Amino acid sequence: MKNDATATLAQLGAATLGESGARRMASRIRPVWRGAALCAPAFSIQCAPGDNLGIHVGLTRAPRGSVLVANVGEIPERGYWGEVLTTAALAKGIAGLVIDGCVRDIAALEAGGFPVFSTGVSLPGATKSLPGVTGASVQVGGVSVVTGDWVVGDVDGVVVVPQHILDEVVAAGQARFDKEGEMFRSLNEGATTVELLDLDESLIRDDSES
């Protein structure tokens, strides 16, 4: 089931899933290198502001194939993740990182093919000495995420599919995907979006001849 869900969700993509019942993260959560994409179950982490001990420990607790989803509190401008953690994550088979904060060492992340979605890039490092929590509900990009929820990230952004509505969202996403396929065919044959979407063009005034 996991492999089937991964393939289907990745094919549908964040934009389609976001219009089909998935929870859309705020646009501040973006891929840190071009082409980064992920689709995997979440492992949630709550860090203390300015500190990434929770991420270091969470990495040791997260199941292989999961994506780390981290909240870092009210101090986003730290390099909470970099080349060292990327190396450890790749060795363990972690699928990626989504963090409501900053990261650094972007060239190393891209070279390793490790997908990271963050709010930006920041040079100062984080401390590693304050309490945190793994496995609890966290708020990331304005969305509540719990361990086991599905996370899909690509060039359009990140969405979260809660476990209990996975089948519903996949069905709605597939229906939308198929409908858009028909629309693309019609557009290539000369139809217009005004016709296909039954839009009211009388609302748009034409002043070109005035």
57-73 pLDDT per residue, tens: 999 999 999 999 999 99
Q: Which residues are within 8 A (CB) of 170 and not within 5 positions of it... i.e. 6 or more apart?
A: 5, 8, 9, 12, 161
Domain at 2-168, CATH class: alpha beta
- Give the per-residue pLDDT at 1: 47
pLDDT beneath 50: ranges in the chain: 1
- Give the per-residue pLDDT at 139: 98
CB atoms within 10 A of CB 98: 25
What residue ranges do the domains of the chain occupy?
A: 2-168
Question: What is this structure's pTM?
Answer: 0.93
Contact criterion met (CB below 8 Å) for 162 and 44: no
Of 118, 33, 10, whose CA–CA distance to 69 is shortest? 118
Element (H, E) at 134: strand 133-134
- Give the per-residue pLDDT at 85: 98
Of 10, 20, 44, whose CA–CA distance to 148 is shortest? 44
Q: Which residues pair with 97 in a beta bridge?
A: 68, 116
CA distance 79 to 145: 22
